[in-house]
Structure 1
Amino acid sequence: MGNVAQAGSHSAAGQMTGYLYQCELALLELARRSWEDASCAVRMEVLDDIEFLDPDSYTPLELIQSKHREAAGPLSEAGKDLWRSVASWIDALEAIAASSSAAMPLLRLVSTQVAPADTFLSMLRSGADRDTRAALARMEKIAGDENGADGTAKDRELFMALTPSQRHQLVDAITVDDGAPVMSDLNPSLAKELGITPSDHAQAALDDIKGWWYGMAVGLLDRKNPQRKRPAVSAQELMCRRDEVLDRYAGKNLPITETLRNLTQAEIAGYEDQLVVNQMRWISLPDPEIAMHLREYHYARAQRSEWLRTFKITPERLGEYEQELHDEWEHVFRRRTRRFHGDMPAPERESLGQAVLDDTMDRAADRPARPGSITAPWIGRGTMHSLADQADTAVPDRAVGWHPDYKDLCKPREETQDQ
């Protein structure tokens, strides 16, 4: 165990945090712009860490270098963060000039460290004290210092190889955005820019949007799969997702964190011997319909468990909800089986059972899990199937079935033989 601590010396945690920070910073920047320009678009790792594009031509309007450092400290004039950013911008500007006649983009260095007051870095902040002329003179002096750090020598040489006019144009486009929040402090800024107000569901809503964003980021970074690759993500797309999520978590509505997906054949097979499937087979439901109902049963169970785990609903209220669903089923079942008689042919019994199922599902879809709220229709339908799956063990006022003889069919085989 003593060697475990030493393994940290080879850890890539800092580098990984830097990549995650870049991803979330792109989301933060896109959210900030979304309130004023829904057409703006972002991409990553093409010409720079983060790029904001002209929505019509997809030419860069802004290039952002993202520098995350957990350790507090000054941003150095001679350090790698600055000079590698400068070299990256020079390469990017050459690529832009070679492919289009686009104007000089804004060049931003976003750093969690702070530029000391007596450095050219502080002169390149936005605001009234910005002084690009003085900053350029200071940069040229540091770049030409033969005793400068070896790690930045090539980057400084690249800067000095520019013509004076090019250096002036480059520095004039640079903005230093220092003192940015570290990774662990980004959430409050993200919530503010996304318009997520403090509430019981605020963190869940933020997590939902961030989960969607990381999926978008995979598409932005995918260079090999044409089906997944995305050229950019627009502020309009983010606004749409934000509105969907905030609507879902608004007011008294219970949050929906599960996404309905078709079950695999292996997942369907796992339910084959359960009563929920037998109930549907007794009324000769075709396999595609059974698979459809199992999907809702599967995800409704997961969603109810998540609500209970995160204290979004009490077990008592969930029990009341199940009782309400049972009452809806009972109205359907008694009405549909009113004229049922013992010598009814098997096909007619099965047809009657299908009608009970269909009507019950329609009524369950409209029943909210919490009074005054809106619940996704599949929650009610899936929960009804949970009651059907327990019809052989449930207390009488919770048993649910589709076939008019479901009570006898649910009895254990040995009990049926004894009778």
Structure 2
Amino acid sequence: MAQAGSHSAAGQMTGYLYQCELALLELAERSWDDATIEVRMELLDDIEFLDPETHTPLELLQSKHREAAGPLSETGKDFWRSVASWIDALKTLADPLAATMPLLRLVSTQVAPTDTFFHLLRSGPDRDVRKALTRMEEIAADTNGPGGTAKDRALFLALAPERRYQLVNAMIVHDGAPVMSDLNLSLAKELGITPSGHAQAALDAIKGWWYRMAVELLERKNPQRMRASVSAQELACMRDEVLHRYAEKDLPITESLRNLTETEIAGYEGRLVVSQMRWIDLPDVEIAMHLRSYHYARAQRSAWLRTFKITSERLEEYEQELHYEWERTFRRHTRRLRDHTSGTERQDVGQQVLDDTMDKVADKPARRGSTTAAWIGHGTIHSLADQVDTMRPDRALGWHPDYTDLCKQREEQDQ
């Protein structure tokens, strides 16, 4: 374990964590006005906000965290390294001289003194790009300036005059940002978490989700585990899900549970979900009843995902919970079967598994702390019964005691 002192990396680690949580804070702020905006990290800059259609940067953000705030220094490494980083990042854009140059933001916990170019580059009535540029050029050209920033300052001066102006014109200094220890208050406010007994639990739930997203955003070695970006809409969906969970609000039901037409029922003929019910000799009228739940539950889940009422992660958990109830029921009814048990008896056991499973899953909520219509659980468990022949053995389920063998026979016949 690292010891506190000259070799401690605590400040650097805090800076990384701050960058991650600042990205969440910035995305939360944008989610109220533009849910389509997307964020990514550590590609062109610390944090980037993207155009959802072109996936090109609208904003490049450098985050600088100093626990002991103090003033921003015009000759400091934090700023000039940011300038060099922006110059390098802009070289990768297709048309760096285009009018749609991304915004370049420096977010720092330090404060911009009034007599510095930092103050001139803040948003507001005192902003003066020309004066800021002149002062920056003076600082950059000073041969007595710190050696640690000499290369970065030289890189800035090497730009053509019009390019320097364009670069500085795109800069925004956001000083006095909250330090890491105060960030939770800002996050709770922007996420709409009101003070209550569950406020910290709600914030922890959202931050836990966000850190998982951050790991995927930073993944570089395994493309299958990497996320290109996270949208404000995804965050808004998770925020609503968490807040509804603690407020005990139900998911909206937008599908009406009407009887299926004969044509709609016929459309399911040949599907595994129907075969599963025929293997236990279920009457056609009951098959039609179960297909109705299957049909509308599938449509309702799609609507929730499409309108960002629930996350795919929560639906995955919901399916796991239903699968657990089926497994307990299946094991209880089939553990005493023997090889000589007749086919009719096995079908009877399968019907008991189906009926008892439906009773068990009826009360399982799709969103924790809420109430979900029983047919959502019924239809969702049938959707799992329709997927036994996929590559998800952990989700395999069926009603007949020998459903695995029957599924294999079905696959062989289809080949």
- Normalised TM-score (structure 2): 0.64
Give the Cα separation in 2 of the matches to 1:100 and 1:161. Answer: 16
Match of 1:24 among 3, 21, 24: 21
Q: Indicate the residue corresponding to 2:180 in structure 1.
A: 183
Q: 1:279-294 counterparts in 2 under 5 A?
A: 279=332, 282-284=335-337
Give the Cα separation in 1 of the matches to 2:336 and 2:317. Answer: 28
Deviation readout 1:251-309 (Å, 9 max, x if unpaired): 389xx9x946869xxxxxxxxxxx999855544499xxxxxxxxxxxxxxxxxxxxxxx
Residue 11 of structure 1: how far off its partner (Å)? 1.9
Give the Cα separation in 1 of the matches to 2:331 and 2:371. Answer: 31
- 1:60 and 2:57 aligned: yes
- 1:198 and 2:195 aligned: yes
Match of 1:174 among 165, 171, 195: 171
Give the Cα separation in 2 of the matches to 1:10 and 1:126. Answer: 38
Instruction: Return the letter of the residue paired with 1:244.
Output: E
Deviation readout 1:232-262 (Å, 9 max, x if unpaired): 1111221222222222222389xx9x94686
Q: Indicate the residue corresponding to 1:246 in structure 2.
A: 243
Give the Cα separation in 2 of the matches to 1:194 and 1:102. Answer: 33
Q: 1:300-311 counterparts in 2 under 5 A?
A: none
C-alpha contact 2:40 2:48 (8 A) present in aligned 1: yes
Residue 229 of structure 1: how far off its partner (Å)? 1.7
C-alpha contact 2:40 2:228 (8 A) present in aligned 1: yes
Q: 1:7-406 counterparts in 2 under 5 A?
A: 7-97=4-94, 101=98, 103-251=100-248, 259=317, 279=332, 282-284=335-337, 359-366=355-362, 374=371
Distance 1:9 1:280, change over 3 A: farther
Deviation readout 1:103-133 (Å, 9 max, x if unpaired): 2111100001111122111111100111111
Q: Indicate the residue corresponding to 2:307 in structure 1.
A: none
Residue 353 of structure 1: how far off its partner (Å)? 7.4
C-alpha contact 1:283 1:353 (8 A) present in aligned 2: no
C-alpha contact 2:329 2:353 (8 A) present in aligned 1: no
Deviation readout 1:319-356 (Å, 9 max, x if unpaired): xxxxxxxxxxxxxxxxxxxxxxxxxx999999877766
Deviation readout 1:393-418 (Å, 9 max, x if unpaired): xxxxxxxxxxxxxxxxxxxxxxxxxx
Name the SS for the 1:10 alignment partner.
coil
Give the Cα separation in 2 of the matches to 1:247 and 1:185. Answer: 25
Give the Cα separation in 1 of the matches to 2:204 and 2:101. Answer: 36
Instruction: Give the count of matched residue pairs.
Output: 305
Identity of aligned residues (%): 66
Give the Cα separation in 1 of the matches to 2:96 and 2:160. Answer: 21
Give the Cα separation in 2 of the matches to 1:6 and 1:242. Answer: 38
Please list every run of 5 or more consecutive structure 1 residues that lacks an aligned counterpart in the other structure. 264-274, 287-344, 381-419
C-alpha contact 2:123 2:173 (8 A) present in aligned 1: yes
Give the Cα separation in 2 of the matches to 1:195 and 1:262. Answer: 30
Residue 50 of structure 1: how far off its partner (Å)? 0.7
C-alpha contact 2:329 2:357 (8 A) present in aligned 1: no
Give the Cα separation in 2 of the matches to 1:28 and 1:216. Answer: 14
Q: Indicate the residue corresponding to 2:400 in structure 1.
A: none
Give the Cα separation in 2 of the matches to 1:100 and 1:221. Answer: 29
Give the Cα separation in 2 of the matches to 1:221 and 1:100. Answer: 29
Name the SS for the 1:46 alignment partner.
coil
Distance 1:277 1:232, change over 3 A: closer
Instruction: Return the letter of the residue paired with 1:220.
Output: L
Give the Cα separation in 2 of the matches to 1:278 and 1:169. Answer: 70
Give the Cα separation in 2 of the matches to 1:149 and 1:97. Answer: 34
Name the SS for the 2:101 alignment partner.
coil
Alpha-carbon RMSD across the aligned residues, in angstroms, is: 3.6
Instruction: Return the letter of the residue paired with 2:32.
Output: W
Give the Cα separation in 2 of the matches to 1:47 and 1:285. Answer: 64
Give the Cα separation in 2 of the matches to 1:103 and 1:72. Answer: 33
Name the SS for the 1:52 alignment partner.
strand
Larger radius of gyration: 1
C-alpha contact 2:333 2:352 (8 A) present in aligned 1: no
Residue 34 of structure 1: how far off its partner (Å)? 1.1
- Normalised TM-score (structure 1): 0.63
Please list every run of 5 or more consecutive structure 2 residues that lacks an aligned counterpart in the other structure. 251-313, 322-327, 378-415
Residue 39 of structure 1: how far off its partner (Å)? 1.3
Residue 216 of structure 1: how far off its partner (Å)? 1.6
